Amino acid sequence: MKKVLLTFGLLAFIAGGVAAQSTTSPAAEVKVQNPNAPTITFDSEVVDYGTIEQGADGVREFKFTNNGKEPLIISNARGSCGCTVPTWPKNPIKPGESSVIKVKYDTKRLGAINKSVTITSNAATATKVVRIKGKIIAPQTSPVKESTGAPVEK
């Protein structure tokens, strides 16, 4: 009987604590959007390497423009794995200006490419994901030269 009363008392205490919480918790606050915030607009959000040979140049570029009214600051760009290494501009991009984010993929790995790069900035959309795709094949080697059947002179 004591356990039942203790359980009901505990449940009543928890229910009272939940009911006493304010409906204006910090998580429920509405954030005001900055109408002048920079916007990052990419020419293309997917770069297709196509089919390339192993060891080929793995550097590609994502061209973008700041279409906002304030300078765009890219704070980070992170590849989805260690084989995808992005390089981004460290200086602010003024409104109306364009720049590039370079992505280097390790083309020593054979097979399909489908990787992402996550870009973090002060833009209205703070996080943007762009992708690279393609296929790495083994390099073509020249065929072995066949003998013509003529005797080799010594």
Total domains in the fold of the chain = 1
Half-sphere exposure in the Cβ direction for 127 (13 Å, CA): 4
For residue range 29-67, list pLDDT tens digits in order: 444 578 889 999 999 999 999 999 999 999 999 999 999
Q: What whole-number distance in Å separates Cα of residue 54 and Cα of residue 124? A: 39
State residue 7 phi and psi, 5-degree precision: -65, -45
What's the pTM? 0.69
Q: Report yes or no on 145 lying in a domain.
A: no
Q: Report yes or no on 101 lying in a domain.
A: yes
Residue 140 banded pLDDT, cuts 50, 70, 90: confident
pLDDT at 141 over 90: no
pLDDT at 16 over 80: no
Q: Read off the CATH number of the domain in which 50 is found.
A: 2.60.40.10
For residue range 71-125, list pLDDT tens digits in order: 999 999 999 999 999 999 999 999 999 999 999 999 998 999 999 999 999 999 9
Q: Report yes or no on 56 lying in a domain.
A: yes
Give first-to-last CA distance, the chain, whole Å: 110
Q: What whole-number distance in Å separates Cα of residue 99 and Cα of residue 73? A: 12
Range of the domain at 120: 40-134
